[in-house]
Amino acid sequence: MALPRSMKKYLKMSKRQRWEEIRATLWFTPSYYILLSIILATITLLLDIQLELADYVDGKFISEVDLTRVLVSTLIGGILTLSAFTFNSLLVVLTTFSGQFSPRMMLNFISDKKTQHVLGIFNGSFIYVLTVFLFVSKSNTNQYVAIPITTVFLAFFAAITFIYFINHSTTWMQVHNITDNMKEVSKRIINFSILKEIEPYRTKDDTKLDDKEYTKDGHMINAKESGYIQVVDYISLIKSATRDQLVVRFEYGVGEYVLEGSPILTYWKESENAINELEYLKCIALGHKQTEIQDLEFGVNKLAEIAIKALGNNDPKTAINTIHQMSDLLTIIARYTHFSPLLVDEEKNIRVILKEEDFEYYLYRGFAHIRHYTDQNWVIITEILSSLGSMAKAMDKMFYDDLWNFAVQTVNGIEKREIYHLDRKYLLQELASLATTTKRENEYREIENEFQREA
């Protein structure tokens, strides 16, 4: 039987892709609650109809058949109404995220565990009361205990859950929680994808590619389809390259779009053995969209997009909060990531060459777009310089050049004749603080003199 296209895509995914994709859908957690509700309905029906629990309990807990039917039928409508309000609130939240912040944030709210548990509770409760109503309506049993007690409890629990969901939605929509959530997602990428999958295989020395034979032309492996690089199985790739005595170089990085037929890998053989190129392509999962499974840059871009949207909506506090979260994330990236593109096997032989990225690249992707959209907003530019100064105090000296150069480029892009006196004063204060930390006092004085000349 032919499966619909929406189902076929899961068969083409890797195990890790499939898990992340399913977990991000609205029906993942609710399906468990629906299953539990069916089990609970079966148990209560057996207790009341088959085992006749009413014969063994106190009369005050017993409900007559007519009252039970009225109770269950009434609560079907009540729970369904609460579910409708919940879904309506969900749509409002998603619309707000898409319009005011970023459409890429909708997936974060949908995949949030609290959101999924709330939807699961409502769906499970509705399935329970609907199931028991069908059996109670046709049963010859005159007295019930388990069904009415369980039904009342679920209705009460659903009402409490509705209040909880409203509180959860309003809390999640607060700017500081949104940006912190984005940062935490990126931190999980660092902890799982970077530290566990890549860092153990990176070289810690300063090996230069220019001295290696594999910088010359090699054998190319072309992509069989178009799409974004979503997941790379680095461990399997290193093992295959070690077995076949290869050095493999990526022509694209995770998150980049690859066209069908374009070279995605280049390899150099150390022996004349035949190579199964398809095996190497299977280590790279392509898809029609970017994901955050291994794409650290995607998380950085989402934070930047929130700041840009805030600037467009004349909301400087949101932009400033996002800049603070961005600086924290970039500091974590610098602290836990060695930016060497070389991955080695157990014998310390180079096996995989990644597309080279350094801290300057992430710094640019994080702050450059925000800087561009400030449109001479001195307060935001000063806040960026302040964040760079804070990062310099928390980071290794090896990153000082990148931080200082980015700050100088930011300052040089300012129309110095059009800046207010206090804006210039506070901007230079932050730049001076950064210069002191990075030991660039002489260069700072030159910039300060230039500001004074053009004032």
State the virtual CA torsion across 386, 322, 424, 375 in degrees, nearest 10: 150
Please state, in angstroms and as integers, the Cα–Cα distance from residue 219 to each residue in 108, 120, 215, 249, 269, following that order: 40, 51, 12, 10, 8
Contact 265, 282 (CB under 8 A): no
Q: Helix 5-12 to helix 15-23 angle, to the nearest 10 degrees?
A: 140
What does pTM read for this prediction? 0.76
Q: At a CB cut-off of 8 Å and minimum separation 6, what does 56 contact?
A: none
Q: At a CB cut-off of 8 Å and minimum separation 6, what does 343 contact?
A: 198, 201, 202, 203, 234, 238, 350, 351, 352, 353, 354
Q: Which helix (H) or strand (E) holds 63?
A: strand 63-64
Please state, in angstroms and as integers, the Cα–Cα distance from residue 353 to each residue in 82, 181, 262, 383, 442, following that order: 54, 32, 18, 37, 39
Please state, in angstroms and as integers, the Cα–Cα distance from residue 328 to each residue in 273, 325, 368, 433, following that order: 48, 5, 16, 18
DSSP summary character for residue 231: E
Q: 195-368 belongs to which homologous superfamily?
A: Pyrimidine nucleoside phosphorylase-like, C-terminal domain (3.90.1170.30)
Q: Give dist(CA 317, CA 338) in Å, integer.
A: 33
DSSP string, 256-271: -EE-TTSEEEEEEESS
Neighbours of 352 (CB within 10 A): 27
Question: What pLDDT score does 211 carry?
Answer: 44
Q: Which helix (H) or strand (E) holds 242?
A: helix 234-244
Token pair recorded at residue 149:
């007690």
Q: At a CB cut-off of 8 Å and minimum separation 6, what does 429 contact?
A: none
The CA radius of gyration of the chain, in Å to the nearest whole number, is: 29
Neighbours of 455 (CB within 10 A): 10
Question: What pLDDT score does 41 carry?
Answer: 92
In the numeric block, the tokens 């090699």 are attached to 218
pLDDT per residue, tens digit, the chain (455 aa), is 455 555 555 555 656 666 666 666 777 788 889 999 999 999 999 988 888 887 777 777 788 888 888 888 888 888 888 888 887 877 777 777 666 666 666 677 777 788 888 889 988 998 999 888 888 877 777 888 888 889 899 989 988 998 898 888 888 777 777 777 777 777 777 777 777 778 888 886 655 454 455 556 788 999 999 999 988 888 889 999 999 988 999 999 888 999 999 999 999 987 777 888 899 998 998 888 887 777 888 888 888 888 888 888 888 888 898 999 899 989 988 888 777 888 888 888 889 998 878 899 999 999 998 998 887 788 999 999 999 999 999 998 999 999 999 999 998 887 766 788 888 899 999 999 999 999 999 999 988 888 877 65
